[in-house]
């Protein structure tokens, strides 16, 4: 009887020990899971905080200028000028208007480093600068060229009060180009037959897989000549009597900053700091360049992929 009682107590002790171990293991596992949960939640929070910072940084950067101190506003014209690119009319116009609205802005510098791009986007920015000057005649707007300010970039710069360059800068290229390729002979060599159906006599104009037509070539030449004349008129209006016009002025040639000053393509040597300090009188530079919002840029890239594929096939005039 006593032995049975001892066996029963041993069995109960063993079961109790197993249950304690199982319970302890469960608690340990819950603690570990809780720690990993806190870790991943912290990681997610940190990621969202960084993402929010990236989204808000452009606006925060602009607001740094609103501290009651005089400054020179800087708006970048850097990179290819085109809709959907960093330099596009919408962003640049927003930047200019924000700079003008700031009561501490004593002048605006167009920091220019671009090979050109869309004549339409360039014309929009040019007209906005002209309009700002009309409404704010005492607010100086200067273009400062670093490496290059050619074609569409120069279109924009010509609207400024003055253009400053480095002796080694490249400026000018007042012309229009439309380029493409022809694969007619290549298709014949490969034995490929072109099958093209259109509604409209000129719907397939400048099709790279069909022989060129003289009348269509002449039509497109007339078109880019019109764009060129618009470019020339804008430069003449912006530069006025300072432009020493020669037979090469509007030929599409590009000049060094040194030669550009002699030809009236530019006014003098200078950089952002010297122009802000010596001409505008507000040495402090504040960047007002509008950049595309993070999510807008992401969605834009996704939505523009199809448009880019179509646009790469179509030939459009470019100021470059």
Q: What is the DSSP string of 156-191?
A: HHTTSSEEEE-TT-EEE----B------HHHHHHHT
Is position 197 within any domain? no
| Same domain, residue pair 29 and 128 | no
| Same domain, residue pair 108 and 135 | yes
Residue 298 pLDDT greater than 90, yes or no: no
| Same domain, residue pair 242 and 175 | yes
Is position 148 within any domain? yes
Mean pLDDT, rounded, of the chain: 82
Per the CB < 8 A criterion, the answer to whether 151 and 178 are in contact is: no
| Same domain, residue pair 23 and 118 | no
| Same domain, residue pair 154 and 91 | yes
| Same domain, residue pair 130 and 255 | yes
Percent of the chain with pLDDT over 70: 71
| Mean pLDDT computed over 71-83 | 97
- Give pLDDT, residue 316: 56
Question: Where does a domain end: 32, 63, 94?
Answer: 63
- Give pLDDT, residue 50: 59
Residue 150, domain CATH: 3.90.226.10
| Same domain, residue pair 99 and 240 | yes
Q: Give the pLDDT confidence of 12-59 residue by residue, as tens digits.
A: 566 666 666 666 766 677 777 666 666 556 666 565 555 555 444 445
| Same domain, residue pair 45 and 156 | no
Query: Which run of H or of E encompasses 40?
Result: helix 2-63
| Same domain, residue pair 259 and 112 | yes
Is position 196 within any domain? no
Per the CB < 8 A criterion, the answer to whether 122 and 155 are in contact is: yes
| Same domain, residue pair 92 and 116 | yes
| Same domain, residue pair 84 and 38 | no
What's the domain count of the chain? 2
What range does the domain containing 249 cover? Answer: 69-180+219-311
């Amino acid at each position: 009887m006593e032995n049975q009682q001892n066996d029963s107590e041993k069995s109960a002790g063993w079961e109790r020990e197993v249950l304690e171990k199982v319970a302890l293991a469960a608690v340990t596992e819950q603690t570990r899971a809780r720690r990993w949960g806190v870790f991943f939640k912290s990681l997610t929070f940190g990621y969202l905080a960084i993402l929010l910072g990236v989204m808000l940084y452009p606006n925060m950067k602009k607001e740094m200028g609103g501290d009651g101190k005089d400054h020179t506003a800087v708006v970048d014209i850097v990179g290819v000028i085109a809709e959907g690119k960093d330099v596009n009319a919408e962003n640049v116009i927003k930047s200019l208007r924000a700079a003008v609205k700031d009561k501490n802005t004593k002048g605006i510098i167009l920091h220019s480093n671009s090979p050109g791009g869309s004549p339409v986007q360039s014309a929009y920015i040019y007209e906005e600068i002209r309009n700002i000057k009309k409404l704010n005649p005492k607010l100086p707007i200067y273009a400062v060229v670093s490496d290059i300010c050619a074609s569409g970039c120069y279109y924009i710069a010509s609207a400024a009060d003055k253009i400053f360059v480095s002796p080694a800068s490249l400026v000018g290229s007042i012309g229009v180009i439309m380029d493409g390729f022809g694969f007619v002979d290549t298709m014949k060599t490969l034995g490929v037959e072109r099958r093209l159906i259109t509604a409209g006599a000129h719907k397939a104009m400048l099709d790279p897989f069909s022989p060129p037509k003289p009348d269509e070539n002449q039509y497109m030449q007339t078109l880019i000549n019109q764009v060129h004349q618009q470019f020339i008129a804008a430069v003449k209006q912006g530069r006025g009597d300072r432009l020493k016009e020669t037979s090469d002025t509007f030929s599409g040639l590009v000049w060094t900053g040194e030669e550009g000053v002699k030809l009236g393509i530019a006014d003098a040597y200078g950089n952002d700091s010297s122009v802000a300090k010596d001409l505008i009188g507000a040495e402090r530079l504040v960047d007002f360049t509008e950049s595309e919002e993070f999510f807008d840029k992401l969605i834009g890239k996704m939505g523009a992929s199809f448009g880019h594929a179509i646009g790469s096939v179509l030939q459009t005039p470019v100021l470059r």
